[in-house]
Amino acid sequence: MKLKVNAKLDPNFTPLSVVCREMRENTKNDGQDIVIAVERNKGYVTTYKTRIFPDGCGHDEENFLFVERMTKALLWVVGGYKITIAGSRVVGEKIKAAYTKDGLRGFDVTFMERVYEKPFEVVLCDIENAPKNNESAAPVGRHLDGCRIGFDAGGSDRKVSAVINGESVYSEEVVWFPKTNSDPDYHYKGILEAMKTAASHMPRVDAIGVSSAGVYVDNRIMVASLFLKVNEEDFDKKVKNMYLDVAKEIGEGIPVEVANDGDVTALAGAMDLNDNSVLGIAMGTSEAGGYVDPDGNITGWLNELAFVPVDYCREAMVDEWSGDYGCGVKYFSQDAVIKLAPAADIQLDEALSPAEKLKVVQNLILNDHKGAEEIYDTIGAYFGYAIAFYSEFYDIKHVLIMGRVTSGKGGVMILNRAQEVLDLEFPELSKKITLHIPDENSRRVGQSVAAASLPQI
């Protein structure tokens, strides 16, 4: 595979976006259609259609490796507990074996069962019986009428705003320590106090919107790092419905909407840009994503891009948590910077924390250090090809990048190289997609208003 823009410090990088394109090209005359479908809560279904080589013609293993990566990507983009493979029994049986608790994708199975509270399954069918898309049509966000509370639960501070007809009339940030507290009452009291404070600055409360890191289904907390130390029994009993329970204390019948903070960040960006089809990506401790669709809605998809593969190379770095290779967390986070440092002849003190190691490289960039610049140049190449891969699933007009990895000169370098990849390798996308680094101050203010705008009155 010859790339038009190389990842300088990672010569084995094999972008999945190019693999997708080559598979379509190589199978255009005698290919076999295949549909991957993922079902999540309320029967919502998202499908992805592509082509592979015909079953039994000597490409069965190649077909499986490709479909396995695409299935993994779709699953973590949209979330779900049921995969349907339509069009290839040969590939389907291998996917079925992979998605068992003891199989290749055991981590994925266990995670999704916890999120959706249903047993995970893989179903096979003929292409004629492939499931159809059934997406959530309910708009979420951009509702600015009335008196609203916008709450943003961060790992180191919690932010709350009182918003009247789209204008923030009061906001505060309070330091707290949710990740180190095992008592869920600590979290409950902190959230309740914040909301009561915001409520005291308005004549009434018409709606409550919450932005928080984690996975949320029907406004319930399914997986969230804020409750890292809370045991499983307390989580099920006291945490899952926490935002709904707090809202009842503010007032009966107040509409509540809880969304992943990545989605709310993308929504804030969309409101600021006054446009839709926005993909927001935060590069920090991990990679986080959020999306606003062409109609201006938050989709209810997981957008867990940290677990979405972007590199097809089997020797790519493995993520310690999921046990999988080539996934976004090792390409668009502080881990990516640390991973590439040895190839850039930069020795980082092992006694330093990952955040401190990142800071070392960022300080080197300020002094025009060649190796440090090559690290960011490589991440930019990764990112350009990844945007093209994300476009397989998202309709994108704008990409926002944020997070500590993108601060300063490095963020500009990432976007410049990513733009070059789109210009040279994917000109059809280059004409359509604009890349942005939002202003940090306006984004923080916009986040609380966007969170408050989530529920419809």
pLDDT greater than 70 at residue 72: yes
Does any domain span residue 45?
Answer: yes
Best CA proximity match to 4, nearest among 420, 428, 430: 420
pLDDT greater than 70 at residue 188: yes
Residues 350 and 403 reside in one and the same domain: yes
Residues 328 and 238 reside in one and the same domain: no
Q: What is the mean pLDDT of residues 95-111?
A: 97
Residues 232 and 301 reside in one and the same domain: no
Which of the listed residues 73, 102, 129 is the one where a domain comes to its end? 129
pLDDT greater than 90 at residue 228: no
Q: Which domain holds residue 371?
A: 269-446
pLDDT greater than 70 at residue 299: yes
Residues 122 and 256 reside in one and the same domain: no
Does any domain span residue 141?
Answer: no
Provide CB contacts within 8 A for 114, sequence distance 6+.
222, 223
**What pLDDT is attached to residue 284?**
85
Which of the listed residues 98, 129, 160 is the one where a domain comes to its end? 129
- Rg (C-alpha) for the chain, rounded Å, is 22
Number of structural domains found in the chain: 3
Burial category of 182 from C-beta neighbours within 10 Å (exposed 0-12, middle 13-18, buried 19 and up): exposed
Please tell me the number of Cα atoms within 13 Å of 237 on its side-chain side.
8
Tell me the whole-structure pTM to 2 decimals. 0.90
pLDDT greater than 60 at residue 366: yes
pLDDT greater than 60 at residue 222: yes
**What pLDDT is attached to residue 268?**
85
Give all strands of the β-sheet with 32-39 in edge-to-edge order.
Answer: 45-52, 32-39, 82-86, 121-125
Residues 275 and 245 reside in one and the same domain: no
**Which is more confidently placed, 263 or 391?**
391
In angstroms, the CA 439 to CA 445 distance is 10
The torsion angles phi and psi of 340, rounded to 5 degrees, stand at -85, -15
CATH number of the domain enclosing 428: 3.30.420.40
Contact 140/257 with Cβ under 8 angstroms? yes
Residues 277 and 259 reside in one and the same domain: no
Best CA proximity match to 166, nearest among 110, 207, 132: 207
**What pLDDT is attached to residue 430?**
98
Residues 300 and 174 reside in one and the same domain: no
Which of the listed residues 100, 129, 158 is the one where a domain comes to its end? 129
Q: What is the pLDDT of residues 282-293, one digit of tens each?
A: 898 889 899 999
pLDDT greater than 70 at residue 17: yes
In angstroms, the CA 402 to CA 184 distance is 30
Residues 124 and 210 reside in one and the same domain: no
Task: Report the DSSP beta bridge partners of residue 221.
Answer: 216
